[in-house]
Amino acid sequence: MRCAGVDEAGRGPLAGPVVAAAVILDPDRPIAGLADSKTLSAARRDHLATLIKGKALAWAVAAASVAEIDQLNILQASLLAMRRAVAALDPPPQQALIDGNRVPSGLPCPAEAVIGGDRYVVAISAASILAKTTRDAELLQLAEIYPHYGFERHKGYPTRDHLAALQHFGVTPAHRRSFAPVRRVLSVSSQ
């Protein structure tokens, strides 16, 4: 059975898209070292991402934009990105295992939520790696456009440095206006 692992990256940051990936691994081409992306170094994630893209039966990455996050909310935007990633798989999956406790509606196959799946299901681990490496690459691009914010270091998460940069330089188009720290800066600057 073609079973896709699905995971997302970027629910907590104040900036950038939320990115989801779906991966159908090839049982005849195993990939050693797959694990939850949060437990791996950036170099190890990048290496594994290359292997996943080369050896998987199918893989897809999709995102929900900052505007979609602000319009829908972060949970719904994450589910939308997952739905897009699963729909982009070719060949399509016969089943999807989704990291977490929610299954996106409208998937093209039966699906099951797996709490902690990025630690226990290698296809979900593979998806977590692709989602994280893709989102990190996007934040490195944002760092070039907005060099004063430190996106290359904190990847948009609300670190002390990021919050200080928001206060000092203001909100960029890459920031999620629906997130409280960004909303606070906007409300102060509009007074």
pTM of the model: 0.96
Cis bond before residue 93 (omega within 30° of 0): no
pLDDT digits 0-9 by tens, 46-68: 999 999 999 999 999 999 999 99
Phi and psi angles of residue 140, each rounded to the nearest 5 degrees, phi first: -65, -35
CATH number of the CATH domain containing 127:
3.30.420.10
Q: Are residues 94 and 169 part of one domain? A: no
| Nearest-angstrom CA–CA distance, 11 and 20 | 10
| Nearest-angstrom CA–CA distance, 137 and 6 | 19
State the average pLDDT over residues 29-37: 95
Q: Are residues 171 and 106 part of one domain? A: no
Number of domains in the chain: 2
1 with 94: CB under 8 angstroms? yes
Q: Are residues 64 and 26 part of one domain? A: yes
Strand-pair partners of 8? 20
- Domain of 150? 145-189
36 with 48: CB under 8 angstroms? no
pLDDT digits 0-9 by tens, 69-115: 999 999 999 999 999 999 999 999 999 999 999 999 999 999 999 99
Q: Are residues 40 and 85 part of one domain? A: yes
